[in-house]
Structure 1
Amino acid sequence: MILLAFAASKGFKLQQMDVKSAFLNGFIEEEVYVRQPPGFKSARFSDRAYKLRKALYGLKQAPRAWYARLKSFLLKSRLVMGSVDKTLFLLSRGGDNLIVQIYVDDIIFGGSSHALVSSFAEQMSREFEMSLMGELQFFLGLQIKQGLKGTFVHQAKYIGDILKKFNMGDSKPMTTLMSTNTALDADEDGEAVDQKEFREMIGSLLYLTATRSDIQFAVCLCARYQASPWTSHRQAVKRIFRYLKFTTELGLWYSSEGSQMLTMLGCRIDRKSTSGTCQLLRTSLVSWSSRKQASVALSTTEAEYVAAASCCSQLLWMKATLSDFGLRFSRIPLLVDSTSAISVAKNPGDIDLIHVVSANQLADIFTKPLEFDAFTRLRGELGVTVEGVDNALIKGLRANGPAHGNLAHACKLSRYPN
């Protein structure tokens, strides 16, 4: 998602290519022998085995051998490997830039110069047997539309498929994910449901969170009960499907306008703390998560501090990753709505802890069920919208944003009874 947001901000048109029989291009260093397969047996040496010079599909060495071959070729072509992401390669030539992202045998690439992009495609075609697929439109189940004003990423086809799979296509649509009075618990007095089906539903929804951050909190809350699902848990999951039917066309809009900015927001607590975070480049949502902390906090301040420390680590990782794209940040604001946690954590290092009022905290959508108006407002500000509609400005940063930097991080904690 970082690549998509960055490409949209720079106006790069991303292309896609596929390497045919990629693993067969890798050379292996170990001595590996295979039996003579049927149809390829030697009549003269029927008792002998073949010694492999190249990798075959099914070998554990095959992915590593293919990546080593591809990396060697790209480095010889004067591309530079990312310092954090080892599948990211970059090239600068005469003021023009090329970005290449590798995912096994699928390669996404784009740049500021059509000539540079075409030259790279020709080099790859000469070295490997390639399928040039043109403009990036469909990748790993994500539907991608690139335009002059930005890039729209969604999973409308996938939503239609899972609604049909779980017989929810004719269900009544819902405008929100959960009622504000919903409080899921173990519900051991309820009626048990099919565990296999429940897990399949959760797994399908977790994959959908790749583009739908608005369902992150509800899906993760329901996922906690996969080991022993009951009727109330299944009803909560079905309501998520009914909400998806109402919002099938929503996706992530990555605008080509705005100043460079990275924002991080998070989290909610029960008896253990659950840290939820999201990161935005400009106003484009690029990453988000929700996970329980390993220890039980003795106070809200302690939980806030632990969450802020965890989010700070993620922020520094993001800073290092974005440096490979040529984006540099100095003093980094960390926006927290707890003055107690700020007092405990504040230090003169690279992070500036700044208080943000709760009314301007976008992380509420990751922490609790909300009323329709509040939910749709925050959903829009996070960039989950329909195609072509720009993200709303991030109100918390607009009202309280620091004057000395454009890389920001926000942390949110609230009490949630389990």
Structure 2
Amino acid sequence: MDVKSTFLNGFIEEEVYVRQPPSFESAKFPNQVFKLRKALCGLKQAPKAWYARLKSFLLKSGFVMGSVDKTLFLLSRGGDTLIVQIYVDDIIFGGSSHALVSSFAEQMSREFEMSLMGELQFFLGLQIKQGTEGTFVHQAKYTKDILKKFDMGDSKPMTTPMSTNTALVADKDGEAASPRTSHRQAVKRIFRYLKFAPELGLWYSSGSSLSLRGFSDADHASCRIDHKSTSGTSLVSWSSRKQASVSLSTTAAEYIAAASCSS
């Protein structure tokens, strides 16, 4: 579902004043200003005010907010569960009961002006194909668009995103090219890998178990500049990034990666 005029729904707690809009000035009080009671589009408080109102509404409706992801809300009713994920004005939701899902859609439509978009097919660059055998999530369109944007559509495909012998460093003596030629070549290698596998994705079989399995790995002190380790985790979302602190051993690096994956 999509919320219409999202930022007009929030209530602001601060005192905010605006000039009288052109063609709507008061002839009696031309030098006075308006005090806002609700948020307006373009107001810096508007996103926070909208989220506060939506969160308050969902919590009063019996939802529980995620302990890590504050935009994830869950509702348990008997033996059924409803899951709601929010991204500003875009909301995706689903559950184990059709009646529970329909009730939520009606409840939201009564409280806010909504557009029901139907079955989920596209969300934040992700393409979703749902069928009786399962659900397939991929980014084929995004991949093709980014290859076209950087004129890499005709590049030679590569079967892996990076060579195992590559170790990126600051390369301060290398030729400057946003920021260095060696870095640009590494990115081009990733693009060539995307050209090789544009429609790879995640397959969730409807016949498989609903239990979550997480995977984590760490490369101890892999950064040659600050000696920080790199974590790779996969559970709900995949990520690979440097750890915030320096690990003194491979074991410590693996523990940090495992904790991140659990979160």
**TM-score when normalising by structure 1:** 0.57
Give the alignment partner of residue 235 of structure 1, picking from 185, 188, 193.
Answer: 185
- 1:314: how far off? 2.2
Shift of 1:188: 4.8
SS in structure 2 of the partner of residue 267 of structure 1 = strand
Q: Which residue of 1 aligns with 2:9?
A: 25
Please give the alpha-carbon distance, in whole angstroms, between the structure 1 residues aligned to 2:244 and 2:59. Answer: 40
Residue of structure 2 equivalent to 1:73? 57
User: 1:14-413 alignment to 2 at 5 Å?
Assistant: 17-193=1-177, 195=178, 228-230=179-181, 232-256=182-206, 257-258=208-209, 260-269=211-220, 270=222, 271=224, 272-280=227-235, 286-292=237-243, 294-295=245-246, 302-317=248-263
Letter in 2 for 1:145: K
Consecutive unaligned residues of structure 1, counting only runs of 5 or more, are 1-16, 196-227, 318-418
Distance change in 2, residues 1:56/1:312 (3 Å):
same
Offset from partner CA, 1:114-138 (integer Å, 9 cap, x none) = 1111111111111111111011111
SS of structure 2 residue aligned to 1:278: strand
- Contact 1:24-1:54 within 8 A present in 2 as well: yes
- More helix as a share of residues: 1
- Quick check: 1:275–1:291 contact (8 Å CA) kept in 2? yes
Aligned partner of 2:211: which letter?
Q
Deviation by residue 1:283-311 (Cα, 9 ceiling, x = unmatched):
xx63332215533x6xxxx4212213313
The amino acid that maps onto 2:234 is: Q
Give the distance between the partners of 1:83 and 1:233, measured in 2 at CA.
Answer: 37
- Partners of 2:23 and 2:203 lie apart in 1 by 53
Name the TM-score, length of structure 2 as normaliser.
0.88
Count of residues in Structure 1 that have an aligned counterpart in Structure 2: 258
CA distance in 1, matches of 2:8, 2:33: 19
* 5+ long unaligned stretches in structure 2: none
1:192 to 1:124, Cα distance in 2 relative to 1, 3 A = same
Q: Give the residue type in structure 2 aligned to 1:129.
A: E
Does structure 2 conserve the Cα–Cα contact (< 8 Å) formed by 1:81 and 1:89?
A: yes
Q: CA deviation at 1:24?
A: 0.6
Asked if the contact 1:267–1:290 (Cα under 8 Å) also holds between the matched residues in 2, the reply is no
Change in 2 beyond 3 A, CA 1:92/1:293: closer
Residues 216 and 258 in structure 2, CA contact (< 8 A), matched pair in contact too: no
Q: What's the CA shift for 1:91? A: 1.9
- Is 1:273–1:303's contact at 8 Å kept on the other side of the alignment? no
Identity of aligned residues (%): 70
Query: What RMSD in Å do the two structures reach over aligned CA positions?
Result: 2.2
Consecutive aligned runs of 4 or more in structure 1 exceeding 6 Å deviation: none
Alpha-carbon distance, 1:142 to partner? 1.3
Q: Which protein has greater RCO, CA pairs closer than 8 Å, 6+ apart?
A: 1
1:198-228 superposed Cα distances (whole Å, 9 cap, x missing partner): xxxxxxxxxxxxxxxxxxxxxxxxxxxxxx4
Q: How far did residue 86 of structure 1 move?
A: 2.6
Q: Aligned partners of 1:261 and 1:93: how far apart in 2? A: 21
Query: Residues 189 and 31 from structure 1, CA distance in 2 versus in 1: closer, same or farther, beyond 3 angstroms?
Result: closer
